[in-house]
C-alpha cells in the first residue's frame, strides 16, 4: 500500500476547504478545561469558538460520568482552589444534588476541620448548565465537530480544519487552545508530547430497587444512583487484571479493544444479578482514561515540587488524596517555547507521575483552563508569543478572578503529613 505522505491539512487544503471565518481564540475540546478557557477569554473580550466532538460539554466530568469535584481545600479547613473552579462547582450543584460536607456548607469554616471541601453532582445537569453559561456569554459552540488538524506555517498555527456533518471546514485563529484531553491538536502541530498509561476502568451509573428505596427513605435522589463496572481499576492500578497490559489511550485499535473488553466484562458482571431489580441508566460515552498524552512543556511538574513557589504560578492547587500538600501550577506546564500561539490546559498540562494526576483532576483542570484563556487574551492584546507573555499581568488578571496565585508559607506543616487517603472510588 502506498504510504500517505501529506498531512490531512496539506491534502485537503489543495481541495479548497471552505473558509468559515476568524476567531481570536479557538478552543479544541469542551471538557471542563475547555469550558474554563473559553469563558476566561470571552470575559477578557475575545471572540471565541469552542469545538466539541460530542454533543455535551464537560468531557470526563459529564459524559465520562466522573461526577465528583475532588477536594479544593488543604484538609484542615483552608480553602485553596477557587476562581472558576468554585464558580463551576456551584453551577454544577445549583439545580441538582450535592454532597458538600456540613462544615463547608457556608463557605470556608471558621474553625479548622478535617472534612474536605468536595462534592458529587449530577453530570447531566452540569452539562446543561455549562451549555447555557457559554451560550449566554456569547461563545460560539460547535458541537458534533472534530478538530482534525491544525494548519501550521512553521511553528505558527494559522487555524484548524474541522470535520463535521458539514464536511471539512477551515477556521483561522489568533490562538488555539488544545483541551482535547489527549493533546491531539498540539501533537499534530509538532509539539513534543509525553505518553501516559491507563488501567482497566469502566464505570456506568445504575439504579437498583434497593438504592431507590434508600433514596426515597432519605429523600435524596443522589442515593438512588449507584455504579456498575466493567474494569474496576483505580488510579494506582489496584484491581487491574494481572495478565492485561496497560492502555496508552491514543491508539484507535487499542481504544476499541479496551471498550469491547470492558463492555463484555460489565455484561458478565450484571447478568448474574436479578434482571428486574436493577438497570444501568448511563454508560460513559468517552473512555475513562486518566492520563493519555500531555505536552512536553517548558516545565514538567513533579511531586518534588510540592510546597515550591514558582514565579510564573497561575494558581495554587492541593493534593486531592492527601492532606496538606500544595502545589503551584507553573505557566510553563501549558506552553512550549517556539510555538507562539498554541497553548494547552487540563489533562494535557505537563506533569510527571502522580503530579500529572494532581494537575488533571477537575478543579485543577479548570484552573489551568482559566489561565490558558486569560493568557490567550493577553497574547492577542500585546502581540507577544504565548510562551513569552507578561506573567505579572496574567497573574493580576487571574487574581482579579479570585484565583489564589501563591500559597502562604504558614500553610506548610512543620511535620509532613502522614495522613490517610481520602475516601473515594474515583480519581
Ligand atoms: C476513571 C476516572 C476517574 C476520575 N475521578 C475523578 C474524580 O473523582 N474527581 C475529579 O475531580 N477528577 C476525576 N477524574 C479526572 C477528571 O475527570 C478529568 O481529568 C478532567 O475532567 C479532565 O478535564 P479536561 O477538560 O482536561 O479533559 P476531558 O474531560 O478529557 O475533555 C476533553 C474534551 O475534548 C473533546 N475532544 C477530544 N478530542 C477532540 C477533537 N479532536 N475535537 C473536538 N473535541 C475533542 C472530548 O469530547 C471532551 O469533551 C477521573 C478520571 C477518570 C478517567
Q: Is 180 in the pocket of ligand 1 (CB under 6 A)?
A: yes
Say what the pLDDT of residue 415 is. 79
Q: Which residue of 57, 66, 367 sits with most ligand 1 atoms within 8 Å of its CB, as the best mutation to test the pocket? A: 66
DSSP state of 190: T
Q: Is 322 in the pocket of ligand 1 (CB under 6 A)?
A: no
Q: How far is CA 96 from CA 91, 122, 221, 420, in A?
A: 9, 6, 9, 30
C-alpha cell recorded at residue 108:
470556608
Q: Which ranges of 81-122 does DSSP label H, i.e. alpha helix?
A: 83-94
Report whether pLDDT(1) > 80. Answer: no
What is the band of 422 on the pLDDT scale with cuts at 50, 70, 90?
A: low
Q: How far is the CA of 155 from the centre of ligand 1 (A)?
A: 27
Q: Is 288 in the pocket of ligand 1 (CB under 6 A)?
A: yes
Looking at residues 129-153, what average pLDDT do you find? 98
Rg of the chain over CA atoms, in angstroms? 21
Q: How far is the CA of 201 from the centre of ligand 1 (A)?
A: 14
Say what the pLDDT of residue 146 is. 98
Q: Is 289 in the pocket of ligand 1 (CB under 6 A)?
A: yes
299 Cβ partners below 8 Å, 6+ apart? 310, 330, 332, 333, 350
Say what the pLDDT of residue 16 is. 83
Give the integer Cα–Cα distance in Å for 149 and 140. 19
Looking at residues 269-298, what average pLDDT do you find? 97
Q: Hey, which residues does 31 pair with through a beta bridge?
A: 58
Q: Is 68 in the pocket of ligand 1 (CB under 6 A)?
A: yes
Residue nearest to atom 30 of ligand 1 (CA): 181
Q: How far is the CA of 61 from the centre of ligand 1 (A)?
A: 6
Residue 82 near residue 402, CB atoms below 8 Å: yes
Give the integer Cα–Cα distance in Å for 185 and 383. 22
Q: Is 307 in the pocket of ligand 1 (CB under 6 A)?
A: no
What is the band of 10 on the pLDDT scale with cuts at 50, 70, 90?
A: low
Report whether pLDDT(2) > 90. Answer: no
Q: How far is CA 302 from CA 4, 179, 226, 308, 414, in A?
A: 39, 21, 34, 11, 21
* Residue 79 burial (C-beta neighbours within 10 Å; 0-12, 13-18, 19+): middle
Atom of ligand 1 nearest to the CA of 286: 47
Q: Does the predicted model carry a pTM greater than 0.85?
A: yes
Return the ∠ at Cα 192 (arms to 190 and 387), rounded to 5°: 85
Q: What CA dihedral angle connects 46, 294, 302 and 68, to 10 degrees?
A: 70
Q: Is 231 in the pocket of ligand 1 (CB under 6 A)?
A: no
Residue 11 near residue 29, CB atoms below 8 Å: no
Residue nearest to atom 49 of ligand 1 (CA): 59
What is the band of 15 on the pLDDT scale with cuts at 50, 70, 90?
A: low
Q: Which residue of 361, 370, 425 sits with most ligand 1 atoms within 8 Å of its CB, as the best mutation to test the pocket? A: 361
Q: How far is the CA of 395 from the centre of ligand 1 (A)?
A: 25
Say what the pLDDT of residue 421 is. 62
For 207, the 3-state DSSP assignment is strand
Report whether pLDDT(30) > 80. Answer: yes
C-alpha cell recorded at residue 194:
509525553
Mean model confidence pLDDT for the chain: 95
Q: How far is the CA of 65 from the centre of ligand 1 (A)?
A: 10
Q: In the chain, what is the straight-line distance between the N-terminal and C-terminal CA atoms, in Å?
A: 43
Atom of ligand 1 nearest to the CA of 60: 29
What is the band of 3 on the pLDDT scale with cuts at 50, 70, 90?
A: very low
Nearest to 133 by CA among 84, 75, 171, 188: 84
Per residue in 46-81, pLDDT (tens digit) is: 999 999 999 999 999 999 999 999 999 999 999 999
Atom of ligand 1 nearest to the CA of 148: 41
Q: Is 71 in the pocket of ligand 1 (CB under 6 A)?
A: no
Amino acid at each position: 500500500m502506498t504510504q500517505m505522505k501529506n498531512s490531512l491539512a496539506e491534502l485537503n487544503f489543495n481541495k479548497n476547504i471552505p473558509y468559515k471565518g476568524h476567531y481570536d481564540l479557538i478552543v479544541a475540546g469542551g471538557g471542563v478545561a475547555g469550558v474554563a478557557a473559553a469563558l476566561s477569554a470571552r470575559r477578557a473580550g475575545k471572540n471565541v469558538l469552542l469545538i466539541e466532538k460530542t454533543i455535551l460539554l464537560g468531557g470526563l466530568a459529564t459524559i465520562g460520568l466522573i461526577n465528583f469535584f475532588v477536594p479544593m481545600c488543604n484538609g484542615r479547613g483552608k480553602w485553596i482552589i477557587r476562581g472558576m473552579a468554585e464558580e463551576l462547582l456551584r453551577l454544577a450543584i445549583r439545580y441538582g444534588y450535592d454532597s458538600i460536607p456540613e462544615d463547608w456548607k457556608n463557605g470556608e469554616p471558621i474553625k479548622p476541620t478535617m472534612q474536605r471541601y468536595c462534592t458529587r453532582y449530577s453530570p447531566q445537569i452540569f452539562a446543561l448548565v455549562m451549555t447555557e453559561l457559554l451560550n449566554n456569554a456569547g461563545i460560539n459552540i460547535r458541537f458534533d465537530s472534530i478538530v482534525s488538524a491544525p494548519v501550521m506555517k512553521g511553528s505558527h498555527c494559522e487555524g484548524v480544519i474541522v470535520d463535521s456533518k458539514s464536511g471539512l471546514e477551515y477556521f483561522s485563529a489568533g490562538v488555539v487552545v488544545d483541551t482535547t484531553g489527549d493533546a491531539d491538536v498540539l501533537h499534530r502541530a509538532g509539539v513534543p508530547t509525553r505518553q501516559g498509561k491507563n488501567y482497566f476502568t469502566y464505570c456506568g451509573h445504575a439504579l437498583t430497587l434497593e438504592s431507590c428505596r434508600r433514596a426515597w427513605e432519605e429523600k435524596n435522589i443522589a442515593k438512588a444512583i449507584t455504579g456498575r463496572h466493567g474494569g474496576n481499576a483505580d488510579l494506582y492500578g489496584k484491581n487491574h487484571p494481572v495478565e492485561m497490559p496497560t492502555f496508552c489511550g491514543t491508539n484507535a485499535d487499542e481504544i476499541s479493544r479496551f471498550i469491547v473488553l470492558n463492555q463484555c466484562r460489565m455484561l458478565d458482571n450484571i447478568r448474574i444479578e436479578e434482571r428486574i431489580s436493577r438497570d444501568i441508566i448511563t454508560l460513559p460515552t468517552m473512555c475513562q482514561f486518566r492520563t493519555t498524552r500531555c505536552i512536553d512543556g517548558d516545565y514538567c511538574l513533579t511531586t518534588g515540587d510540592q510546597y515550591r513557589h514558582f514565579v510564573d504560578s497561575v494558581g495554587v492547587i492541593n493534593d486531592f488524596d492527601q492532606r496538606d500538600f500544595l502545589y503551584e501550577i507553573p505557566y510553563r506546564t501549558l506552553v512550549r517555547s517556539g510555538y507562539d500561539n498554541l497553548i494547552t490546559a487540563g489533562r494535557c498540562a505537563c506533569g510527571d507521575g502522580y503530579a500529572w494526576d494532581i494537575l488533571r483532576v477537575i478543579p485543577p483542570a479548570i484552573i489551568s483552563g482559566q489561565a490558558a484563556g486569560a493568557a490567550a487574551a493577553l497574547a492577542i492584546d500585546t502581540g507577544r508569543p504565548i510562551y513569552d507573555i507578561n506573567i505579572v499581568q496574567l497573574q493580576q488578571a487571574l487574581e482579579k478572578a479570585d484565583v489564589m496565585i501563591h500559597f502562604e508559607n504558614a500553610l506548610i506543616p512543620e511535620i509532613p503529613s502522614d495522613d490517610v487517603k481520602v475516601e473515594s472510588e474515583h480519581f
